[in-house]
Amino acid sequence: MKKLKLQPEFTIERKSIFNCIKTIENDYLQAWIDAGAYVMFSGKEDYWIMTNHVQLLFKIQEDSMLLECISTYTDDRKKGHGSEMMKLVTEFADKTDTVVSLQVANVTGNGYMISQHPVIAAGTTKKNKIPVGSLPKWYQKFGFTKSPSYTANKRDMIYTPKKK
């Protein structure tokens, strides 16, 4: 299994009102940058990916990229934007041979005050959300499988990159 550098070096550039990562020693996050997404370091341990309609929050783990949160703004829900992003999540995993893990759960503050982080704040809005009980099936549509540690209380899922 590919080991990931937990604290990769990166350079930043100003885009609009954001200080975005321009280059990073992480193939997976660099794939997002190369595709035109805004990628920012949260200042803690998370990387915030922003596109026109969807935001993602990732944490680098030793053996995978942990998808901590995926959210869309209320008016952008039920239009396929989340599905488009999940296809990119797995496409970039395949391209960079990077495992992606996640835990199916309600969006919480993840150590942030909810109002302080846009991904978390958008994800907590209840209107038009996929019910948490339906999320495992939704993630499975994109190739995620239940991990060996999957339980009713700890719903861990994993995407293993497809070999080319």
Q: In tens digits, what is the pLDDT along the chain, a chain of 164 residues?
A: 678 999 999 999 998 888 999 999 999 999 999 999 999 998 778 899 988 888 888 999 999 999 988 887 777 778 888 889 999 999 999 999 999 999 887 655 444 444 455 555 555 555 545 566 778 898 999 999 999 988 878 889 999 999 86
Single-letter amino acid code for the residue at 71: S
CA torsion 97→146→82→11, rounded to 10°?
A: -40
| Residue whose structure tokens are 């590919």 | 2
DSSP state of 116: G
Residues 6 and 62: their CA atoms lie apart, in Å, by 6
- Which DSSP helix (H) or strand (E) runs through 25? none
Strand 65-72 relative to strand 100-104, pairing: parallel
Single-letter amino acid code for the residue at 61: Q
Residues 146 and 23: their CA atoms lie apart, in Å, by 32
What would the two tokens of residue 7 be?
């604290």
Can you state the angle between helices 81-96 and 27-34, rounded to 10 degrees? 130
Entry pTM: 0.82
CATH 3.40.50.300 holds for 10-159:
no
What are the boundaries of each domain within the chain? 10-159
